[in-house]
Chains A and B, each alone.
Chain A
Amino acid sequence: MSAIGDLSACEAAAAFARGDITARAAVDAIAARIERFQSRLNAYAATAVEDARERAEDLDRRRRRGEALGRLAGAVLAINDNFATARGVTACGSRMLAGYHAPYDAAAVARIVAAGGIIIGKTVMDEFAAGGTTETSAVGPARNPWDPSHTPGGAAGGGACAVAARLCHGGYGSDTDGSIRLPAAFCGITGLKPTYGRVSRYGLAACGSSLEQIGPFARDARDAALLLSAIAGHDPRDATSAPLPPPDCLVPPANLPRGLRIGFPRAGCERSCEPAVLASADDACAAFRALGARIAPLAMPLLEHAAACLRVIAAAEAASNLARLDGAHFGHRTAEKAPPGGDETEFLCAASRREGFGAEIKRRILLGTLVLSSGRYESCYAKALRVRRLIKEELERAFESCDLVLLPAAPAAPFKLGEKIADPAALLRLHVFTAGANLAGVPALSFPAGFAGGLPLGVQLLAPPFGEGLLLQAGHAFQQATDWHLRAPPGVAGEEDA
Chain B
Amino acid sequence: MTLPPAPKARLIVGLEIHVQLRTATKLFCGCAVRFGAPPNSLTCPVCLGHPGALPVLNREALRCAAKTAMALGCRILPRTSWDRKSYWYPDLPKNYQISQNEFPVGLEGAVELPRADGSVKTVRIRRVHLEEDAGKSLHDAPDATLVDLNRAGTALLEIVTAPDIASPEEAGDLAREIRRIVRYLGVADADMQKGHMRLEPNVNCAVELDGAEARTPIVEIKNLNSFRALEAAVAFEFERQTAAYLADPAYTLERRGKESRGWDEAALATFVQRRKEEAHEYRCFPDPDLAPYEWIAGELDELARETPELPQARRRRLARELGIGQGDALLIAEDRATGDLFEAAVAAGAWRESSASARATRCSSPRIGRRAISSRRRWPRAPARKPWPSTSSTSGRAWRRTRARPLPA
Contacts and interface: CB of A to CB of B under 8 A. Distances in A.
A368 to B, nearest CB: 9
Nearest to A372: B283
A210 B288 contact: yes
Interface in A194-221: 201-206, 209-210
B400 interface: yes
Contacts of B210: none
A324 B57 contact: no
Contacts of B283: 319-320, 369, 372-374
A236 B90 CA distance: 29
Contact of A320 (B55, B56, B84, B90): B84
A82 B52 CA distance: 9
Interface stretch (A62-70, A98-106, A262-270, A276-284): A98-106
Contacts of B51: 84, 90, 92, 97, 100, 102, 205-206, 321, 324-325, 330
A138 B220 CA distance: 45
A349 B56 contact: no
Contacts of A374: 281, 283
Given A201-B54, A236-B56, A237-B56, A323 B94 contact: yes
A103 B50 contact: yes
With most chain A CB atoms within 10 A of its CB, the pick from B95, B96, B405 is B95
A321 B55 CA distance: 13
Contacts of A484: none
A102 B52 contact: yes
Nearest to B409: A103
With most chain B CB atoms within 10 A of its CB, the pick from A82, A100, A203, A324 is A324
A440 to B, nearest CB: 15
A206 B51 CA distance: 6
A258 interface: no
A320 B86 contact: yes
A495 interface: no
B49 interface: yes
Contacts of B290: 239-240
Contacts of A82: 52
B195 interface: no
A288 interface: no
Nearest to A212: B288
Interface string B69-111: 0000000000000001010101001111000000000000000
Contact of A324 (B55, B95, B284, B401): B95
A205 B50 CA distance: 8
Nearest to B30: A237
B52 A320 contact: no
B392 to A, nearest CB: 13
Contact of A204 (B52, B96, B400): B52
B53 A202 contact: yes
With most chain B CB atoms within 10 A of its CB, the pick from A320, A325, A373 is A320
A328 interface: yes
B285 interface: yes
Interface string B35-56: 0000000000100111111111
B402 interface: yes
Contact of B88 (A204, A349, A373): A349
B408 interface: yes
Contacts of A236: 56
Contacts of B406: 329-330
A158 B56 CA distance: 32
B346 interface: no
B95 A104 contact: no
B359 to A, nearest CB: 55
A316 interface: yes
A11 B158 CA distance: 58
A345 interface: yes
Nearest to A100: B51
A103 B45 contact: yes
B53 A203 contact: yes
Interface of B: 45, 48-57, 84, 86, 88, 90, 93-96, 281, 283-285, 288-291, 400-402, 405-408
14 contacts: A90-B52, A102-B51, A102-B52, A106-B52, A206-B54, A209-B288, A239-B55, A240-B54, A323-B94, A326-B88, A329-B406, A330-B405, A330-B406, A373-B283
Interface of A: 82-84, 90, 92, 97, 100, 102-104, 106, 201-206, 209-210, 236-240, 316-317, 319-321, 323-326, 328-330, 344-345, 348-349, 369, 372-374, 377, 381
Given A203-B53, A329-B94, 16 more contacts: A92-B51, A97-B51, A104-B45, A104-B53, A203-B52, A206-B51, A238-B56, A239-B55, A239-B57, A320-B84, A320-B96, A320-B285, A324-B49, A330-B50, A344-B401, A372-B283
| A-B interface, 3 closest residue pairs, ranked by CB to CB distance from nearest | A210-B288, A323-B95, A209-B288
